[in-house]
Each structure stands twice: as structure tokens, then as C-alpha cells.
Amino acid sequence: MTLTKMELTPKLLILGFILPSLQSKESLHGWYHSLLPDTTKRVIFSYQNIVDGFAVKLTTEEAKALEKKEEVLSTRPEKIFSLHTTHTPSFLGLRQNQELWQNSNLGKGIIIGVLDTGIYPLHPSFSDEGMPSPPAKWKGRCEFTGEATCNNKLIGARNLVKSAIKEPPFENFFHGTHTAAKVAGRFVEDASVFGNAKGVAAVMATNAHIAMYKVCASGTWECYESSILAAMDIAIEDGVDVLSLSLSLDSSVSFFEDPIAIGAFAATQKVVFVSCSAANSGPEYSTPSATWIFTKGASTIVVTVFSVLMIQRWMFLFKVYRYNIRKIIERGEDFI
């Protein structure tokens, strides 16, 4: 058989195994490597808590050869996930220091692991003023250094993006900062969008601790299956109580091929609550289908900000709706 250029290029595959009775992590890794065609660095991630297997770079022919081994249950190419993205508290009738929130501890002592694009740790939503130390069970670590570091609110931050795994989990897209702040940020007074829509930025569990696991590459904002599985695997080991994901595949797949469903099933068996967002698009049904995942849906944002820009004979009316800008042009009189 003549291999094409594409077939000669190693692709990342997720593999599942029937494991031997190995006691240590080191002996398990050694057994994994013994199955591979050579000793070069092929294994990207090795999983322990959510699946029995690892992510590895193989050519098409190498993958076919590995599939023939009796220890191998399955192989599949890596999948790419897309991002999802504020009125939830008021929609639920929640008010700061009133009613249900008044009688709640607002997530005190809970550790929430967020899988996303990374985080901007200096954002006021992650202030640790008045926050207690994380629970003693917490085993995670923080990869920020210097001025931008973790605290008693943001207790952990890891970068699991395989192409930039040695870089700190910063982001400049602010999707992860946004989702982490919505889940468990602090109340922020006088929040606004360039002076518009002023008010208190409200969240759901303001006393909970946050651990960020970066699984989406900067620039492309593609979220890799291998990184997602690695983050879920590590987060369980770290001691999180909740996993929060705002990611999805662009098409539906079976439970056996959906890494979030697989990881969530293992997480629930270890008493970790898994919450996933429904998609931003519609009106088709687009929710995580596994019954063991708590799914939260999106809705239309009711805040609309108008700005008027007048330049001589044209008036430009900008309607800002979330991140989309619709421009309505009206012919008018001379404006200077």
C-alpha cells in the first residue's frame, strides 16, 4: 500500500485499553510505551481517573497495527470542540443579601473546576478579600507567577493545551474569564460596558473557590479532546467538587465517542457534579445528551445599548447586542 502524505503525518488518537494489574503510575506508563512502534515521544496525555488509555500521535498505518493488539479496545481520531457563551441571577429571582441568597452560604467551601480558554487572574471578580483558604483536600497547583498569581478565590490554574503546555494559562479572549466569573466570581459594584448598563455584576456562587484548566488554544480557540480529557482527569485528582464546561462538538455523537459524556460519567462516580452549557445556536436541539450531565441553557440577553454617531449628512445608529453590532443607516440632515 502506498501511503499518502496525510497518512504519513502522525495524528493524535485517543486509545482505550484492557489494563493489566499494575500498581504504580510509572509501571502503567511503561506498559503504554511498550505497545508503541518506537520509543520516541508519542504519548501526549495519559489518563487515570476518567478512561483507561492515553492520547498518542500515530500514523494511519501505525494505528491500524495497534488496533490488532488484544489489549486495545478502541482507537479514534481526536475531536475539536467549540466555545459557548447576564441576566441569570435576576431571571431566577435572586437578589444580593435577600431571600434565597440570604439563607445560602453562596458556595462556601466548594471547589469549581472550569475548563475553558484560560483566565485573567487580575480581574476584580477573582479578588479573595474575605475568602477563606481552600479546603484541605485541595491538591491542585497554580502555574501563574509574579504579580499575576492565584489566591484564596482563584486557587488553581493549569494549561493543558499540548502546543503551549509550558506557558501560564493566561487568555486574551476573555471567554474563560467570563465563564469563571459567572460561575463563582465575586460581586463587583459599578460594573458597566464603557459606562453603559451600570450595576452590580452578580454571579451564582460567590463564596466558592475556582480552579481554571485551560483546554482551548489561544488564537484559534479550538478546544482539543485530549486536553479536555486530561483536564477532567487532573481536576478529579486535584479534589474539585464541580466541573463546569461551556464547550461542545459541532455535531452530535454517541455516548461512546463523546469525551465529555465519558469523562462526566467517571466524574459522577467519584461524586463530582458536572455542569455543561447548551449551545449558542438553534433552534435545533443542541444539548449534551447524557442524563448524568446537568445542562444549563442559553437565552436572549435583554440588555441592548444604543449609540449614535453623527457625521455631516449621515447618521449612524449602532445597536449593540451582546458581541454583535448591527448598523442601521438613516439618511438625515447635516450634522457637524
DSSP β-ladder status, 72-77 and 154-159: unpaired
pLDDT at 4 over 50: no
pTM exceeding the 0.85 threshold for the entire prediction:
no
Q: Which CATH number fits domain 5-78: 3.10.20.30, 1.10.486.10, 3.30.70.80, 3.40.50.280?
A: 3.30.70.80
- Considering only the top CATH level, what class is 81-296? alpha beta
Read off the pLDDT of each residue in 15-27 and give the average, rounded to a whole number: 62
Residues of the chain with CATH 3.40.50.200: 81-296
pLDDT at 282 over 80: no
pLDDT range class, residue 273, cuts 50, 70, 90? very high
Residue among 245, 253, 188, 252 nearest 214 (CA): 245
pLDDT at 307 over 50: yes
At residue 194, the pLDDT reads: 72
Integer angstrom CA distances of residue 63 from 37, 75, 95, 200, 256: 10, 7, 55, 54, 19
At residue 152, the pLDDT reads: 96
Q: What is the pLDDT of residues 243-271, one digit of tens each?
A: 999 887 766 777 778 888 889 999 999 99
Read off the pLDDT of each residue in 182-190 and give the average, rounded to a whole number: 85
Question: Does 336 or 10 have the greater pLDDT score?
Answer: 10
At residue 256, the pLDDT reads: 78
The rounded mean pLDDT for the chain is 77
Residues of the chain with CATH 3.30.70.80: 5-78
pLDDT at 161 over 70: yes
Q: Give 255-259's long-range contacts (Cβ < 8 A, gap of 24+).
A: 255/289, 255/290, 257/76, 257/79, 258/288, 258/289, 258/290, 259/14, 259/79, 259/225, 259/228, 259/229
DSSP for 223-259?
Answer: EEHHHHHHHHHHHHHHT-SEEEE-EE-SS---GGG-H
pLDDT at 301 over 90: no
Residue among 45, 211, 234, 221 nearest 117 (CA): 221
At residue 106, the pLDDT reads: 82
Angle (CA) 262-76-241 rounded to 5° is 20
Q: Dihedral (C-alpha) 121, 104, 203, 220: value to the nearest 10 degrees?
A: 60
Angle (CA) 284-297-238 rounded to 5° is 125
Backbone φ/ψ region at 97: left (φ over 0), alpha (ψ -120 to 50), beta: left
- 160: its cell numbers: 493543558
Question: Does 125 or 40 have the greater pLDDT score?
Answer: 125
CA distance 75 to 53: 10
